[in-house]
Amino acid sequence: MCGIFAYTGKVGKEAGGVLLDGLLSLEYRGYDSAGIFLPEAGSVRTPGAVAELRKKIPKDFKGKSGIAHLRWATHGEPTEKNAHPHADCEGEVWVVHNGIIENFKELKEKLLAEGHMFKSDSDTEVLAHLVEEHLKHEKSFEKAALAALNEVRGTYGIALQYKKEPDRIIAARMGSPIVLGLGDGEHFIASDPSPILPHTKKVVFLEDGEVAVITPDGHKIFKLDSTNVKREATHIDWSVEESQKGGYEHFMLKEIMEGPQVIEDTLRGRLIADEGMAKLGGLESVANELKNIERIIIVAQGTAYIAGLVGEYMLEEYAGVPVEVEYASEFRYRSPVLNQKTALIAISQSGETLDTLEAVREGKRKGALTLGIVNAVGSTIARETDAGVYNHAGPEISVASTKALISQLAALVLFTLFFGRQRSMGVKTAKEIIAELKTLPKKIETILKSEETIAALAKKYANNRDFLFIGRKSNYPIALEGALKLKEISYMHAEGYSAGEMKHGPIAMIDEHFPTLAIATVGSVYEKMVSNIHEIKARKGPVIALATEGDKEIGKLADDVIYVPETIEMLSPILNVVPLQLFAYYFAKEKGLNVDRPRNLAKSVTVE
Ligand code: M6R
């Protein structure tokens, strides 16, 4: 989730300072490199954070306008060469970009054939060259930019600047947010309002497919087909911190709400629907080795480990590969028997969890092929594994992992399709999975609309001291996750169990003060779950059932019901985890706890 900030003004402010301060308030979006361009002073780029950029900026770096960027890598390593802004051949047209240009390869080939010289591996650079190319025929920067944008496919939030028209900056939005800040004699463009707010509270949000031009004196908005757009400015009273949270009270809630987008981002460009295939560019370098894999070991910690457990069900049932899932912290201290036909998959949001990293190193020593499912681009696990897949979930700020899990599960579906189609999975099954996968963002949106119902339930049960979560098959790990979320942000005693294990001990705890959340959505174990709920009710235990929309029977049995849309059993964990995340969130909020920074925990555990 890169950050963009652009400024043009005639009120005597130093553009360099305005832009650097603005970038600081965008750092919460994550970064691996930063850069700035002022037409009057040139460009400076660096790997690292804004502090690194500040150190590199010369004293005479001054100007009245400019564009700046914080990068969270998608294409290309986080190096100075790949940091934004990117320029055309002559260093005249400059661009900062958030998103992915999907057709950048074909555009780059065309531009190379026309003689353009590229300096980076970034998909973004094609935009600067495209504008340069159009400037040969179009009368103005504005027209050339519009022609270039009409050639581009993918997602973008963009700011473009042309050295010969230094006070004019062009912005465009397709899938990645862009907001304009309207000041008096100064105007701004940013990927969210946080860097704009210290200067003006008057903002205009662009819609997808819209282009805007700002100068010190004003702004205009039009569509990609050049028709004009009139939009009233919005006055926002958010503080900078509120703005970083997108208006939500906590990052955790914002990140849960990002679920639909996260699925889209993880899947983007990776499904070949008509062939029933997953295309995972990050695995191409080990394509031959993967064909010979006879066994998979997944290593991870915490929520990433729970993703691995769900992956085990998917991979064994649909790809026919034997899978073991193990805490990386245990794996590294035993003597695992591995060989070249074993793939060791490390799952990690941060890519820096020490135990997971050491498990990768142990796997390598023993000759296994090591793969990563990692969110943080360029992180140590991403670098040390032989190959892998990035989540593209954007940075996760809240200590409690939510959106990363959604994207890990979506990535594991992609792995299952990938391995499955190399083995026993038929095209019909694959196509059915892909078709259903594509419906998940909308279905998650529906679940998110039950926020108030879930908040009310959290309130109802907030005085309980213990909680049990039960599920079966691939929803057993989701029961573990429901309990983990409640433990880590509410400090509650919560246990996750396989519902089938209840009778072997845990049921002894059940009484009227010990509530259970039972995952009883439709699927092959539905009746078994209903029996388990009967057993709990017979012991006076309160039950919240997580059930499929339209299930009228369960309401007669359980005390409370949370409904989710129907999906195929394989994908049900991706939907079912969302209400449990919301439940934990509202539970902790109800207790007035520090949701985003729970006690005793760190976002990334880089010690043993
Ligand atoms: O960065 P990682 O995914 O490797 O982190 C693993 C765990 O530390 C992490 O999932 C932790 O359990 C979360 N706080 C759970 O919400």
Specify if 39 maps to a domain.
yes
CA of 475 to the centre of ligand 1 (A): 19
Write the CATH number for 500. Answer: 3.40.50.10490
> Taking phi first (over 0 means left), then psi (-120 to 50 degrees means alpha), and beta for anything else, what does residue 535 get?
alpha
CA of 532 to the centre of ligand 1 (A): 30
**pTM for the structure as a whole:** 0.78
605 lines ligand 1 (CB under 6 A): yes
pLDDT at 607: 67
- Considering only 148-157, 186-195, 574-583, 599-608, which range has the smallest mean pLDDT? 599-608
Q: Is the pLDDT of residue 271 over 90?
A: yes
10 Å CB burial of residue 135 (0-12, 13-18, 19+) is: buried
Examine the domain organization and report whether 396 and 494 are in the same domain.
no
391 lines ligand 1 (CB under 6 A): no
Q: Is the pLDDT of residue 222 over 90?
A: yes
- Give percent above pLDDT 70 in the chain: 99
If one compares 605 and 368, the residue with the highest pLDDT of the two is 368
Q: Is the pLDDT of residue 362 over 90?
A: yes
8 Å CB contact between 184 and 8:
no
Examine the domain organization and report whether 120 and 158 are in the same domain.
yes
pLDDT at 1: 67
8 Å CB contact between 398 and 595:
yes
161 lines ligand 1 (CB under 6 A): no
Query: Closest residue (by CA) to atom 8 of ligand 1?
Result: 302
Examine the domain organization and report whether 193 and 279 are in the same domain.
no
Rounded to an integer, the average pLDDT of 262-273 is 94
Examine the domain organization and report whether 21 and 97 are in the same domain.
yes
Specify if 188 maps to a domain.
yes
379, 384, 605: residue to mutate for ligand 1 pocket, most atoms within 8 A of CB: 605
Query: Closest residue (by CA) to atom 7 of ligand 1?
Result: 302
Nearest 10 degrees: CA dihedral of 430, 436, 437, 442? 170
571 lines ligand 1 (CB under 6 A): no
Specify if 603 maps to a domain.
no
pLDDT at 75: 61
> Taking phi first (over 0 means left), then psi (-120 to 50 degrees means alpha), and beta for anything else, what does residue 276 get?
left
pLDDT at 176: 83
Nearest 10 degrees: CA dihedral of 381, 382, 387, 388? 110
The closest-lying atom of ligand 1 relative to the alpha carbon of residue 485 is: 16
SS3 of 215, please? Answer: strand
Rounded to an integer, the average pLDDT of 31-52 is 93
Specify if 215 maps to a domain.
yes
If one compares 585 and 74, the residue with the highest pLDDT of the two is 585
The closest-lying atom of ligand 1 relative to the alpha carbon of residue 402 is: 16
pLDDT at 498: 96
Q: Which residues fall within 8 angstroms of residue 113, CB to CB, at 6 or more apart?
A: none
Using pLDDT thresholds of 50, 70 and 90, give the confidence band for residue 241: confident
d(CA 39, CA 8): 11
Which of 181, 212, 242 terminates a domain? The answer is 242
The closest-lying atom of ligand 1 relative to the alpha carbon of residue 302 is: 12
Catalytic status, residue 603: yes
Examine the domain organization and report whether 229 and 283 are in the same domain.
no
Rounded to an integer, the average pLDDT of 28-47 is 90
CA of 314 to the centre of ligand 1 (A): 21
Strands 179-182 and 186-190: antiparallel
Specify if 236 maps to a domain.
yes
CA of 404 to the centre of ligand 1 (A): 9
Range of the domain at 423: 245-438
CA of 595 to the centre of ligand 1 (A): 15
- Considering only 153-157, 182-186, 496-500, which range has the smallest mean pLDDT? 153-157
Examine the domain organization and report whether 102 and 233 are in the same domain.
yes
Q: Comparing C-alpha atoms, which of 165, 125, 213, 124 is closest to residue 40? A: 165
308 lines ligand 1 (CB under 6 A): no
349 lines ligand 1 (CB under 6 A): yes
8 Å CB contact between 490 and 591:
yes
pLDDT per position as a tens digit, 51-105: 999 999 999 999 999 999 998 776 667 788 889 999 999 999 999 998 889 899 9
Q: Is the pLDDT of residue 158 over 80?
A: yes
598 lines ligand 1 (CB under 6 A): no
Q: Is the pLDDT of residue 433 over 70?
A: yes
Which of 438, 471, 495 terminates a domain? The answer is 438
Give the helix ranges, DSSP H, for 296-402: 302-314, 328-331, 354-365, 380-384
C-alpha dist (Å) from residue 410 to 74, 377, 419, 575: 17, 17, 14, 11
Average pLDDT across the chain, whole number: 94
Examine the domain organization and report whether 217 and 292 are in the same domain.
no
348 lines ligand 1 (CB under 6 A): yes
350 lines ligand 1 (CB under 6 A): yes
Specify if 501 maps to a domain.
yes
| CA distance between the termini of the chain | 29
- Considering only 80-89, 231-240, 455-464, which range has the smallest mean pLDDT? 231-240
8 Å CB contact between 60 and 41:
yes
Query: What kind and span of H or E run contains 205?
Result: strand 202-205
Using pLDDT thresholds of 50, 70 and 90, give the confidence band for residue 175: confident
Q: Which residues fall within 8 angstroms of residue 136, CB to CB, at 6 or more apart?
A: none
Examine the domain organization and report whether 167 and 207 are in the same domain.
yes
597 lines ligand 1 (CB under 6 A): no
Q: What 3 state SS string does 502-559 have?
A: HHHCHHHHCCCCCCEEEECCCCCCHHHHHHHHHHHHHCCCCEEEEEECCCCHHHHHCC
Examine the domain organization and report whether 55 and 168 are in the same domain.
yes
Rounded to an integer, the average pLDDT of 356-373 is 96
pLDDT at 89: 97
Q: Is the pLDDT of residue 608 over 70?
A: no
pLDDT at 27: 83
Q: How many domains does the chain contain in total?
A: 3
CA of 303 to the centre of ligand 1 (A): 5
Specify if 608 maps to a domain.
no
In this structure, is the dihedral angle defined by the CA atoms of residues 524, 526, 528 and 529, taken in order, positive or negative? positive
Query: Closest residue (by CA) to atom 12 of ligand 1?
Result: 302
DSSP 218-263: EEEEEETT--EE----EE----HHHHHTTT-SSHHHHHHHTHHHHH
Q: Catalytic residue among 2, 108, 245, 443, which?
A: 2
d(CA 342, CA 367): 8
Examine the domain organization and report whether 258 and 222 are in the same domain.
no
Q: Is the peptide bond before 193 cis (omega within 30 degrees of 0)?
A: no
Specify if 72 maps to a domain.
yes
Strands 387-390 and 342-348: unpaired
DSSP 443-488: HHHHHHTTHHHHHHHHHHHTT-SEEEEEE-GGGHHHHHHHHHHHHH
Catalytic status, residue 2: yes
pLDDT at 397: 86
Write the CATH number for 188. Answer: 3.60.20.10
Q: Is the pLDDT of residue 160 over 90?
A: yes
133 lines ligand 1 (CB under 6 A): no
Tokens read off for 209:
């497919």
> Taking phi first (over 0 means left), then psi (-120 to 50 degrees means alpha), and beta for anything else, what does residue 451 get?
alpha
The closest-lying atom of ligand 1 relative to the alpha carbon of residue 603 is: 14
Tell me which amino acid residue 256 is: I
401, 480, 601, 606: residue to mutate for ligand 1 pocket, most atoms within 8 A of CB: 401
The closest-lying atom of ligand 1 relative to the alpha carbon of residue 400 is: 16
CA of 302 to the centre of ligand 1 (A): 5
pLDDT at 74: 63
Examine the domain organization and report whether 487 and 419 are in the same domain.
no
301 lines ligand 1 (CB under 6 A): yes
The closest-lying atom of ligand 1 relative to the alpha carbon of residue 401 is: 16
pLDDT per position as a tens digit, 501-534: 998 999 999 999 999 999 999 999 999 999 999 9
pLDDT at 93: 98
398 lines ligand 1 (CB under 6 A): no
Which of 242, 269, 286 terminates a domain? The answer is 242
Examine the domain organization and report whether 238 and 249 are in the same domain.
no
pLDDT at 402: 98
8 Å CB contact between 130 and 143:
no
